[in-house]
Amino acid sequence: MFSSLQKLSSLVKNTLDVATEEAVKTGLIEIRNIVIGLQDKIFLLQKENSHLIKVKNELEAKIVKKEKWEIIAKQYARTEVAPGFIAYRPKPDTDAAGTQHYLCQHCFGKDKASILNRTGRDGGGTRYACPECGTQFTDHADKDSGGAVVVGAPTQTSSIFRGY
């Protein structure tokens, strides 16, 4: 389309160079101006089209990412592990339920599945930290169970399973 207009523009210019009648020259100048206007519009449309293709590809990538996240997210339930300690735990009978773990609620809100690491345990309870955002939690309700607590084998009295 653009190259056809360039050929038409050249043809009009060449014809204008040899035209002798004033009426013909006036008509050719008008045609040339219309062609130049069309070339400008096509250039802008091509630029806009490239931008829209880029936006479309970005949106498609976001949709795919969101769909993948929703498959993960629906396998988790928001739970208050201890007062002030909110996390996401795997729902029973899901692929995620294979190993006991908790996802950071802060990262979950940003569509990221970041497993909380158990970083230690002291008299105040079990400490957890998110490796992604650095958020730290202490499960104070877990302070009386005594001994080392292993992820995947929480005790019956653990607050983690309260309500489930």
Q: Name the residues that contact Zn ion, by CB under 5 A.
A: 104, 106-107, 114, 130, 132-133, 135
**Tokens for 60?**
């498609």
Q: How far is the CB of 86 from Zn ion (least distance, A)?
A: 12
Asked if residue 136 lies in contact with residue 125, where contact means CB atoms within 8 angstroms, the answer is no
Cα(146)–Cα(150) distance, integer angstroms = 12
Task: Select 97 or 129, whichever has its Cβ closest to Zn ion.
Answer: 129
Cα(151)–Cα(117) distance, integer angstroms = 9
- 15: three-class secondary structure by DSSP: helix
Q: How far is the CB of 78 from Zn ion (least distance, A)?
A: 14
Q: How far is the CB of 53 from Zn ion (least distance, A)?
A: 35
Task: Select 130 or 141, whichever has its Cβ closest to Zn ion.
Answer: 130
How far, rounded to the nearest angstrom, does the alpha carbon of residue 32 sit from its chain's CA centroid?
A: 48
Phi, psi of 45 (to 5 degrees): -65, -40
Task: Select 48 or 111, whichever has its Cβ closest to Zn ion.
Answer: 111
Q: How far is the CB of 133 from Zn ion (least distance, A)?
A: 3
Task: Select 35 or 90, whichever has its Cβ closest to Zn ion.
Answer: 90
Task: Select 9 or 132, whichever has its Cβ closest to Zn ion.
Answer: 132
Closest CA to 1 of 45, 50, 67: 45
